[in-house]
């Protein structure tokens, strides 16, 4: 019987050199993706930007801001071909841990009401919807609201 080699998953700090791969994923998973500049600004600002690597392939990432006892999850994405395998859950848990270590008592995020996958993920982790921002996001036909979710850490 031959053993199947285990693939190595690593969560590492996102570097400027990763941004081409990050933006390539971003463009495939969002209708209105962040730009390279948005990610470069987040890295330079010292936000918690992490990349998930499966061997050499970058397959997901998150951007988390922690300040003044609050954390904001600004981006969480898994490449389409790697979704539904628990990676989003793993990254969300990592982000929650970093937020806690940084002294945050609450974790906030915004999500499109049409993004049922993300809403299901957040609901599973105990996030509660606390507000609606009207017309927050650009959308194909005008604007779309944002649901604001929060989790007590």
Active site residues: 110, 122
**Residue 24, interface with ligand COA (CB under 6 A)?**
no
Contact 14, 49 (CB under 8 A): yes
CA 71, CA 107: separation in Å to the nearest integer?
5
Of 13, 37, 69, 86, which one interacts with ligand COA (CB under 6 A)? 86
Q: For 134-146, b where at least 16 C-beta lie within 10 A, e where not — what string?
A: eeebeeeeeebbb
Closest by Cα among 69, 135, 60 to 92: 60
With contacts defined by CB under 6 A, name the span among 11-19, 83-91, 93-101, 130-138 that binds ligand COA: 83-91
Of 2, 46, 120, 142, which one interacts with ligand COA (CB under 6 A)? 120
118 vs 151 by CB, closer to ligand COA? 118
Contacts with ligand COA by CB under 6 A lie at 29, 76-78, 83-89, 111, 115-118, 120-121, 124
């Amino acid at each position: 019987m031959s053993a199947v080699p285990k693939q190595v998953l690593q969560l590492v700090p996102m570097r400027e050199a990763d941004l081409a791969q990050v933006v390539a994923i971003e463009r495939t998973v969002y209708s209105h993706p962040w730009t390279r500049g948005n990610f470069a600004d987040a890295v330079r600002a010292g936000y918690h930007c992490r990349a998930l690597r499966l061997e050499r392939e970058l397959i997901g990432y998150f951007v988390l801001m922690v300040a003044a006892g609050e954390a904001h999850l600004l981006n969480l994405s898994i490449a389409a071909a790697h979704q539904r395998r628990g990676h989003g859950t793993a990254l969300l848990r990592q982000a929650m841990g970093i937020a806690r270590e940084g002294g945050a008592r609450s974790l906030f995020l915004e999500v499109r009401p049409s993004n049922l996958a993300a809403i299901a993920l957040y609901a599973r982790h105990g996030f509660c919807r606390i507000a609606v921002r009207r017309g927050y996001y650009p959308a194909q036909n005008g604007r779309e609201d944002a649901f604001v979710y929060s989790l007590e850490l």
